[in-house]
Amino acid sequence: MMARPHHNLLTALVLAVAIIRAESAASDVKSAARSAHDDAEISKYIDLVAARGLATRAMPDPRAHERIPSPLPGTSVSESIVASLKTGDPTGKAIIWSEPLGSGLLEFQEGTAPTGQTTVQYWVLESDGRRCIFSGGTTYGQDGRLLTSNFWRNDPQLRFAGSADLPGDAFPNRIPPSAFLYALEAPEPNAAGKLKMAIGSYGYMTFDLRAEDIQQTSVPAGTFQTLKVIARVDTESAMRGWPVFLTHLAQPFMPKDILYYDVSPPHHLVKFVGSLGYLAPDVTVEMNRVYIAPESVSRGVFGASHEPR
């Protein structure tokens, strides 16, 4: 006996609803499991971060004054000069270093601008450097006043209604320079990789990475054997919702960032050519000094607080 068409349609609709509900439930279970995993993972690091002096109040105190971390004694530190690619005029200085943190890594970057602002950022990474667990950053004015403060935690609850799930290996919208090297299949020529960065509250975009050749790179700090890495935003990830043929047409016109890493450990970023962020002008970053951090009596873990001038 042939079934009636409306009965078949009703059955299909019921099955579709059941499938959607099952997938939604599975997604919720998966998110809950990941959240529990993240909570357990973060608990391993939070005491270490607090002991390092990086954990403060839940809400920033607008009366707070400048507190700048110092590298631990024995840490290899690089200092670089940032300059406008268009004019060559200096636009800042960057100090970068990495420290072990339990079974993970703690990446630091301190940046200063000619106008006097100082920005300090840290990232807690898994041992292979391919996933950011959490990060924090602060910007101080010329007189040491707190200007901005932020904290980012890799957690599925970052997802807003109507947005896609944030990948577990996503980074915040500020990425440590080392992350591009860690994201490669291997730190060698012809290796490829992908790096995901959260953008806003509703999405993320992906950098396609490709390592090219090993070449000599000369900067103010000297001449180094470096691995050249090309980073380019994948248009489909940055232009979600656009027709595929348009994203494919746009891909060749996406700007490239070029990074040169020292082939010798700890693989300092020797040179960078590109943009440091959305709408930011193109710059060059060249290492002008690399040294081993000594014992510091004056600064200790943090620099001395700056009193208002």
CATH number at residue 277: 2.50.20
Q: What is the pLDDT of residues 33-63, one digit of tens each?
A: 444 446 666 778 888 888 888 877 667 788 8
If you compute the radius of gyration of the chain from its CA atoms, what whole number of angstroms results?
23
Residue 217, domain member (yes or no): yes
Q: Which amino acid is at 274?
A: G
Confidence of residue 17 (pLDDT cuts 50, 70, 90): very low
Q: How many domains does the chain have?
A: 1
In the predicted model, is pLDDT for residue 238 greater than 80?
Answer: no
Residue 299, domain member (yes or no): no
List the strands of the sheet with 222-233, edge to edge: 146-153, 132-140, 118-125, 104-112, 90-101, 76-84, 282-292, 269-275, 256-262, 222-233, 203-219, 192-199
Q: Which of 42-46, 215-219, 246-250 has the lowest mean pLDDT?
A: 246-250
Residue 204, domain member (yes or no): yes
Residue 60, domain member (yes or no): no
- Residue 190 is predicted with a pLDDT of 96
Residue 272's Cβ-side half-sphere holds a number of Cα atoms within 13 Å equal to 25
**DSSP for the chain, written as a single string:** -PPPHHHHHHHHHHHHHHHHHHHHHHHHHHHHHHHHHHHHHHHHHHHHHHHTT----SS--TT-B---B-PPTT-EEEEEEEEETTT--EEEEEEEEEEEETTEEEEEEEEE-TTS-EEEEEEEE-TTS--EEEEEEEEE-TTSBEEEEEEEE--GGGPPTTSPPPPTT-B-SS--THHHHHTBSSSSTT-EEEEEEEETTTEEEEEEEEEEEEEEEEETTEEEEEEEEEEEE-HHHHSTTS-HHHHHHHGGGS-EEEEEEESSTT--EEEEEEESSTTPPEEEEEEEEEEE----SSSTTBPPPPPP-
Q: Which of 48-57, 208-217, 243-252, 283-292 has the lowest mean pLDDT?
A: 243-252
Residue 166, domain member (yes or no): yes
CA distance 157 to 147: 27
Residue 123 makes CB contacts below 8 A (sequence gap 6+) with: 106, 107, 132, 134, 135, 171, 172, 176, 179
Q: Residue 171 burial by CB count (10 A; 0-12/13-18/19+): exposed, middle or buried?
A: buried
In the predicted model, is pLDDT for residue 287 greater than 80?
Answer: yes
- Residue 215 is predicted with a pLDDT of 96
- Residue 49 is predicted with a pLDDT of 87
Tell the residue number behind the tokens 């109507």, with chain if given. 162
Higher pLDDT, 155 or 215: 215
Higher pLDDT, 285 or 50: 285
In the predicted model, is pLDDT for residue 132 greater than 90?
Answer: yes
In the predicted model, is pLDDT for residue 8 greater than 90?
Answer: no
- The answer to whether the CB of 299 falls within 8 A of the CB of 110 is no
pTM over 0.75, yes/no: yes
- Residue 203 is predicted with a pLDDT of 75
Q: Domain range spanning residue 255?
A: 66-292
Nearest of 267, 290, 276 to residue 219 by alpha carbon? 290
**DSSP for 175-223, written as a single string:** --THHHHHTBSSSSTT-EEEEEEEETTTEEEEEEEEEEEEEEEEETTEE
Residue 3, domain member (yes or no): no
Higher pLDDT, 112 or 281: 112
Q: What is the pLDDT of residues 195-205, one digit of tens each?
A: 998 886 667 88
Residue 181, domain member (yes or no): yes
CA distance 247 to 266: 37
- Residue 119 is predicted with a pLDDT of 95
- Residue 60 is predicted with a pLDDT of 79
Residue 48, domain member (yes or no): no
